[in-house]
Structure 1
Amino acid sequence: KEGLLRVSFFQTRHLERPDLKTQFGRKAAACGMVFKGTDWRAVYSGDLASPQELSVPAKGCDLLIHEMAHTSPEAVAEFATSAKIPHVLITHIGAGFDQSPGKIADVFSKYYSGDLIVAEDGTRVQLSKIRKNKTILAQPEPVSPVKISADHRQAAALSAVFLNTLQQDFFLPSGTAGQILQAAESLLQPVLAAKTVQPGQVRITLNRLDSPSGAENGKIDVTLTLDAGSQDTAIKSQGGPTALRRKRIIRLYHEAQQQGGVLTQEDLARLLNASVRTIRRDLTALSAAGYPVKTLGQMK
């Protein structure tokens, strides 16, 4: 039927290494995926031993989504060129490129002339344009004309932080975390309504700037601005989600310090609903641009 998406799987040799067989067991298997739309075909490598494993699954594909934790940029770029794949999206970036993903593009430019996208949190692609445009990277979403009240934005920000904490720190499934959030909102709504924070702000407990050891008596409550309203909207419109997130990191850092608190990378990840890995990349980029942000781990 028109619009039907077909998904199939293929096994890779990633777990055939003796050390991984011991770790995961003999019945464990690593797999890649093939997605087939009405007029396009995409392949996700999964973890593998070599890009050459994709010779058959990736033949004639329009988009190759490839991991960069167990393979090198050179190997993937050379394979994509030999297989004549027009679009490559790099994800699952390993420690070697975690702090400098731009190096992946530098290496690719020597071997590959197609459309390369190095993914980060929030990256979107437009599969409907896979054979029409030179790049399928989606532009930042336009600002919605629907007006959302400041109180609603604040509630949404608090809910996002709470959900992220339940899932990341307590390893709860999203459905269970959502049910807990609903119960908490019902029970704590009167308490939250009584808080004196301004719209778009949250109240959070941090380590004290003058005592960053993590001891209980070294804690302090601070008020931080998650959503600055029209100012944030303008930044996102001009620079996209990444620019907005980095601007918020700078703001949160200064507000915390002004109130005698210091943020951890995990604090920033929870507040901004991002991964710690993404926060680390942002901190590296900000430092290179002349905006050093020191988190708790860097101050010990």
Structure 2
Amino acid sequence: MLSYRHSFHAGNHADVLKHTVQSLIISALKEKEKPFLYLDSHAGAGRYLLSGEHAERTGEYLEGIARIWQQPDAPELLKPYFNAIRDLNPNGTLRYYPGSPLIARHLLREEDKLQLTELHPSDFPLLRGEFLKDSRARVERADGYQQLKAKLPPPTRRGLILIDPPYELKSDYQAVVKAIHEGHKRFATGIFALWYPVVLRQQIKHMLRDLEATGIRNILQIELAVRPDSDQRGMTASGMIVINPPWKLAQQMNDLLPWLHQKLVPAGTGHTSVTQLVPE
């Protein structure tokens, strides 16, 4: 199935969480001079027009990035993420939202590399067009899960692998674990960051059990919920699973999540959490 288009959901609360974590990890990697690889397994279109038909139809960004990106009391830790958004919206009007590839493009240095994969026949040409003039980037139309076998380990032995599948199929919850296990065997020191939606909590519990059963160590879970868990249709929360997280990441997210939750969820429903699932 290739029906999922992220343009319907760009800039929502799940994107805020995902891209906050992504930005913090990249910032941590940049603290060392040695270059690194950024690998995006399900990269999407790269840029999303918030006045376009898809984003306008759902309006999800209005309850996400639109609530926080120009807040005067925004924590300093959000600056790299917000700067990537301002880079696309220099006049101060929120017209475009950057997907994870464009956030990475903004934050990476000249010596770092991007490996981007997208299968969707409409999104792939858009993604390729965004990076035509960027010599750091390689854009391919290929199976994102297979990239964790084919492209790892990078020559520099440093990298962030972002895995953000559409979860169109129930089998995606098992496929991500298998792909991470394969990638980790090849690149055990890499940082793997997996985004997940909470639609049915039981699916996430099964996925986490499967991940823990791989024997991989040092797994951090970060979650932001806008509503309590429910068996009704719709995403109530989202989270990030980070393997080999930078040492500061757990504390950074503990500092950020109360502010994000207050701004994104004025009603105060839902929850936030930072949990060390598996120790080092």
User: So what's the TM-score if we normalise by structure 2?
Assistant: 0.33
More helix, by proportion: 1
Higher relative contact order (CA 8 A, sep 6+): 2
Compare CA radii of gyration and give the structure with the larger one.
1
User: So what's the TM-score if we normalise by structure 1?
Assistant: 0.31
